[in-house]
A and B are shown apart, each in its own frame.
Chain A
Amino acid sequence: MAYVRVEKAVKYFPREDGTDMLVLDAVSFETKEYGITCLLGPSGCGKSTLLNIITGLEHLEQGRAEIVSNHRDAGKDAPRLGYVFQDPRLLNWKRVENNLIFALKGMGIPRQEWDERIHKYLSLVGLLEFRKQFPLYLSGGMRQRVGLARGLVIEPEVLLMDEPYSKLDHLTARKLREYTLEICARLKQTALLVTHDVEEAAYMGDRTVILSPRPARITDILDNPLPPLERDVDDTRFIQFKKKLLQSVMRLVKEEV
């Protein structure tokens, strides 16, 4: 069990003229302990910056961001984080299974566990028969699934996904969302999904954190009334929740545009 907690996070970026630009303005939220939390906001609002702060790539001026986990003593080891990127970012010169091994090796997973894990996670994403294939011989959606398997194979405390469907065509993206939702539900995986797509947030998020345009503030935190496997894009309850999210977002955009 693990979750992300961000408290009163403040972040500035230096401008070229020497002044500072406020990017995050006292952002506070917690993810769910199981399941997917979406960070929903317009492009350029600082969602990716927030992700970088959670992963420790960037530092905060004030406040704190941490991964709370009962698997390890707080502050003792680095948290184990899995990533899924916007592009699959696979090593195209390595076979599918070797792409997973690259992550397993990097994270220091004992070698005797590799084979079992590769088997498990490639089966989960439905690509077991392609384990010896090179990525460039796979379709875009399949490559993104390899990326998902690579993020999961290290059995991360938190899986971080940065707009992982935004470069796929509509149908592939839809299929992949279904996959990811089901897998995360089955594994009870804590995950943080960055997106600018309201429908995606409504569908994927057990909780959705809505960020305002820059400087990012939290404007709403909404929990999904529907459990992950009962979300149907044509269901009225789903549509109602989507509307609620949309209204919350549109309020912000109106102020801006």
Chain B
Amino acid sequence: MAKQEKALAAQSEVGVAVSTGVGAIPRRRGGVWAEPIQDVVLRVAGVLALVLVWWILSLIFPPTLVPKPMETFGEVAAIITTGDFFYEMGATLRRVLVGFGIAMVVAIPLGIVMGTLRNLESFFEPPVILGLTMPGLIWAVLMIMFFGLTETSAYAAVAITICPMLAISIWQGTKSIDKDLVDMSKAFHAGPWSKVMDVIIPQLISHILAAIRYGLGLAWKVVVVVEMFGFSNGVGYQVVRGFNIFSMKAVLAWAITFLVVMIVIEFGFIGWLERTVTAWRPKIEAWRR
């Protein structure tokens, strides 16, 4: 009985929460800036906690296994000030972006075709699912054996690894396309190009953005593997070099710079992209708690 009452109480609470959420924008305590500041503080605290754990570990293990955080950050500074960073990162970034671009150009039409034409859906489903199952490492090996140690093999390995994932994401998104809008576009005799660019792709935008996020994440992983196989530049190559001289500090320093660049791209570029392409949508901040 008491349990039932509790459940009822919980239910009514949910009801109240929803109704206030949809109704007026709830006023936050402490003014407009309280929440952003609190947000930043929490994020910084999260990062510092990681560094703290690292520091504790560095007290337990010898520096060859776990170098001190400050020394590693010094190494990071050295990488950046000597200019190595920009050269190596540039090479890696180029491989990621070219491979990613190729994958995108293939995956968007492929996903749309699979989502809209039933016959082609059946035809492409097995290769796409197989492609998704294949580990990026194997693609990297295959591409290097095929193209040799060239830029092409890096581009191809990245593109082919992430393409199925992108295609699946867009394919699934295509299934939620509003048929009424497609009918509307037919009623106004929209051409095929306009139908795709004005009606279909905008409806896929959130799926495409999600695909970009996952795709970039996957692309970084593959490109580093490719570079480890004997490329003479790139972040992956630097990590292997650090490994060969057994310098944990070098490996970690490269990993950290790499992470920072990824985070900048994730929060900076993709965040900006998201805000730009979804400007037509009224903000739903009021509903988030």
Tell me, yes or no, whether B180 is within 8 Å of chain A by CB. Answer: yes
**Interface residue from A94, A95, A154 paired with B188 (Cβ < 8 Å):** A154
Tell me, yes or no, whether A253 is within 8 Å of chain B by CB. Answer: no
B25 nearest CB across to chain A (Å): 15
Query: In the bound complex, what is the Cα–Cα distance between A170 and B205 (angstroms)?
Result: 35
Given A106-B190, A107-B189, A94 and B198 touching (CB < 8 A)? Answer: yes
Given A85-B184, A134-B279, A91 and B191 touching (CB < 8 A)? Answer: no
**Interface residue from B189, B199, B282 paired with A108 (Cβ < 8 Å):** B189
A103 nearest CB across to chain B (Å): 4
Size of B's binding interface in residues, CB under 8 A: 19
Tell me which residues across on chain A come within 8 A of B282, comparing CB atoms: 136-137
Q: Is chain B's interface secondary structure helix, strand, loop, or mixed overall?
A: helix
- B280 touching A94 by the CB < 8 A rule? yes
Tell me, yes or no, whether B58 is within 8 Å of chain A by CB. Answer: no
User: Which chain B residues numbered 236 to 289 have a C-beta less than 8 Å away from chain A?
Assistant: 279-282
Query: In the bound complex, what is the Cα–Cα distance between A94 and B279 (angstroms)?
Result: 10
Tell me, yes or no, whether A105 is within 8 Å of chain B by CB. Answer: yes
Tell me, yes or no, whether A165 is within 8 Å of chain B by CB. Answer: no
- B190 touching A105 by the CB < 8 A rule? yes
B22 nearest CB across to chain A (Å): 15
Residue of A nearest to B281 (CB): A136
Interface size class of A (residues with CB under 8 A): 20 to 34
Tell me which residues across on chain A come within 8 A of B279, comparing CB atoms: 134
- B280 touching A92 by the CB < 8 A rule? yes
Tell me, yes or no, whether B202 is within 8 Å of chain A by CB. Answer: yes
Residue of A nearest to B190 (CB): A106
Tell me, yes or no, whether B185 is within 8 Å of chain A by CB. Answer: yes
Residue of A nearest to B201 (CB): A93
Query: In the bound complex, what is the Cα–Cα distance between A89 and B180 (angstroms)?
Result: 7
Chain A proximity mask over B170-195: 1 for CB below 8 Å, otherwise 0: 00000000001101110111110010
A201 nearest CB across to chain B (Å): 23
A78 nearest CB across to chain B (Å): 8
Residue of B nearest to A105 (CB): B194
- A83 touching B184 by the CB < 8 A rule? yes
Tell me which residues across on chain B come within 8 A of A89, comparing CB atoms: 180-181, 183-184
- A93 touching B188 by the CB < 8 A rule? no
A101 nearest CB across to chain B (Å): 9
Contacts A83-B187, A135-B280, A136-B280 aside, 10 further interface pairs with beta carbons under 8 A come to A55-B187, A81-B187, A83-B184, A89-B181, A94-B202, A95-B280, A102-B185, A105-B191, A105-B194, A136-B281
Provide 5 A-B residue pairs closer than 8 Å at the C-beta atoms, listed in order of the A residue: A92-B280, A93-B280, A105-B191, A105-B194, A136-B281
